[in-house]
Structure formats: structure tokens, C-alpha cells
Amino acid sequence: MRGLDYDKLRIETVFEFPVAEWSMSGDVNEPARKYPVWTEITVTVPVGARDAVIGWFMDRGSAGVQEDYPGLFPLDGNGPVTSGDPREWHGEATPNPGDTVVLKGWLPPRIAATREAAALRSFLESTGIALPDGRACPVDGADIESVDWNAIWKSQFKPIQIGRRFTICPTWEEPPRDGRIVIMLDPGMAFGTGTHFTTASCIEAAEDFFDRVETPSTVSVLDVGTGSGILAIAALKMGAGSAFGIDVDPDAARESQKNAAANGAGERYGATDRPITGKEGQFNLVFANILAQTLMVLAPMIAATVAPKGSLITSGILVEYEGDVVKSFKSLGFDVISARHDDSWATVTFEKSGC
């Protein structure tokens, strides 16, 4: 499924936040590269002194300055925002309702936290910057402990069971010997690791499809919005003769090919980053795990790729749009075979009428 399915966050960040002292490489299996400890300095100042203090941080070599005040919280109200990625901003930052602001900067290594905190206090005193009530601005300094973020990130992903047949296993884990079909994937390289309802329910719907097929090797598969390629790979592991993935993200298209090869299905799988046109041919099974609005825009092209009596498994559909998606595909000659739901999402399987 392409696109984010969660609320965006609000934040105001002045410069990039060096969130870790360890750098993730392009290959999750490579060891993290350790960087020196950073010195973190936090100060509360009047709003009017914001720019001057940010200037002090930058003059001292700060890698970034984070601004915080009441209201800079995720939309669900759970804790302060810490994301420094502008792609996660949601509109304009919430205005500061108060007369003070908390600034946090990260200074280069080999700088004593106590010395830098004292230097900032001296700067504030020399420039006459104090809190609105006349008190000195509170300043704190600390050394950030080294953290292997790569190892922590990896530890969050363990083999998971999907549907009646599958186990999705990160490539750095030993796959369990439980008799289930194993798909090896690197989480995070492209969308689709089986942890989200939309992906898992598409695999479950595909299991139902293959239960009805007498000769799986005759099945051809198209995966629209393939992401990691997990759905196409699952179909191939259930015996499909061939599969083709479409993803407008070139990195995802390439990653899906790597994943298919890593799972012993590379010779039966191909992918492209060209948008769907409806002229790709006709397939016995088509996956379209993309957002509902995109599904409805692409519906005529997707419909054209489904063979008569073929199955179309759609997902990425918020439940409030399920009716609209069903209406779109019914108008194109499809009947609903089944539907799966959780609290927010719907996965609908269609069959195309015809001989």
C-alpha cells in the first residue's frame, strides 16, 4: 500500500535534529557506524530572545536546535513531538501560547556539558536575557549516551505468523521451523512487511483464492502498488506460475525484485516503476493494496488487467470509503466475493464476471 495511514505530527524544528549517535546504513544487516557522544544543552528563554539564543547555539557548532512549547504535541496528545523530518509536519506549527520557549541544542563531541552550560549562562547574563519574572533562565547540560539505534530497531522485528500458512521473517532472524511457508524480508525497505492489517488480510484472501484453484501453476498474478513485493511473493510461494509488480517508486520496484530473488522466486517475478495503464495483459489474480481514493481513480485500468472470472483483492481502504470502492468496481463488472475488516480498514475481494 502506498502512502501513510496515520495522522501527521506537528513540530517546529529550526535545524536538523541529530537523533542518534549511530548511523543506519543502507543495508540493515551491516553494523552501525558509531559517532561520538553529543553534548545536549537545554534552556528556557523568553520568546523575544529565541533568535539570539539560537544564534549562540549555532555559533558554538550546534548540529541542530529544537524548539518546544505547550501545544507541540502529536494529534492524539501523547507526549512531545521529537520528529525532525519536515515530511512529517502537518500544516503550520501550533502557535506558541506562552511567553517562554524551550530550546535544545546538540554540540559537537569533546565538549564538557558543564562548561557549555556555564558558557550559555554567561551569555544570557551578559545580554540581559532573563525570564519574564526576572529569574535567571534555567540551563541544563548533559552528555547523550551512545545508543546502537540499528540494534534497537532490529530488535523490534521478530518473525510473525500471517494467515493459515505464512511466517514473515526479518532476514537477520533464524526462521522458525514450524512447517509454515517462510517469506524473508527486510522491514522498512519498502511498504509491506505483513504487520499491517491491509497486508495481512490480502494474504489471507489470497490463501482463500488458492484453496479454490486446482492447478496453481496456471495462475498469473499482478500486484499493483507492490511495495516490498510481499503479496506477489506469497502468491508465488503458494504455487502461482508468474507474478508482476507495479510500483511508481523505483526503489520499491527494485526492492521487490531483490526480495523475490531472496525468496527463491526471482525467475518467476518481474517489476516496473511505470504507472499502470490497463494494457499490461490479463491476470488470474490481481492485488491492489493502495489507498481508496487512488483505487477509484485507477479502477478502469485495474479492471482491465483482471481476466474473466479472475479475482481482484483490494485493500488500503478506510471503512468509510468501502462503499465507494465497491460501487466503482461493481460498475465495471465485478461482484463482491468476501470482505475483511478491522476497526479502520477494509479488504474486499471481487470476481470479474465473464466467460
Query: What pLDDT digit, counting tens, does each position of 188-207 carry?
Result: 654 556 668 899 999 999 99
Rounded distance, CA 141 to CA 71, Å?
24
- Asked if pLDDT for residue 121 goes beyond 70, the answer is yes
Please compute the mean of the pLDDT values over residues 8-20 and round it to a whole number: 32
Residue in the block written with cell 517475478: 269
Rounded distance, CA 59 to CA 347, Å?
54
Could you report the per-residue pLDDT of 135-162, keeping only the tens digit for each? Answer: 999 999 998 865 665 676 677 678 889 9
Q: Where are the domains of the chain?
A: 22-149, 157-352
- Asked if pLDDT for residue 53 goes beyond 50, the answer is yes
Look up residue 209 and give its amino acid: F
* pTM (whole model) above 0.85: no
State the average pLDDT for the chain. Answer: 82
Q: pLDDT-based confidence at 354, cuts 50/70/90?
A: confident
Q: Which CATH class is domain 157-352?
A: alpha beta
Residues sharing a CB contact under 8 Å with residue 313, sequence separation 6 or more, in sequence order = 202, 205, 206, 209, 231, 285, 286, 287, 288, 289, 347, 348, 349, 350
3-state DSSP call for residue 193? coil
Could you report the per-residue pLDDT of 298-336, keeping only the tens digit for each? Answer: 999 999 999 999 999 999 999 999 999 999 999 999 999
Task: Provide the pairing of β-strand 160-162 with 166-170.
Answer: antiparallel
- CATH annotation of 22-149: 3.30.70.120
Kindly report the number of other CB atoms within 10 A of residue 164's CB atom. 12
b/e per residue, 317-350, with b = 16+ CB within 10 A?
A: beeebbeebbebbeebebeebebbeeeebbbbbb
C-alpha cell at 105: 541544542
Counts of helices then strands in the chain (DSSP H, E): 8, 16
Counting Cα atoms < 13 Å in the Cβ hemisphere of 328 gives 21
Rounded distance, CA 115 to CA 121, Å?
10
Rounded distance, CA 223 to CA 230, Å?
9
Q: What percentage of residues in the chain have a pLDDT greater than 90?
A: 57
Please compute the mean of the pLDDT values over residues 286-303 and round it to a whole number: 94
Q: Which stretch of 24-28, 276-280, 347-351 has the lowest confidence by average pLDDT?
A: 24-28
Rounded distance, CA 311 to CA 290, Å?
16
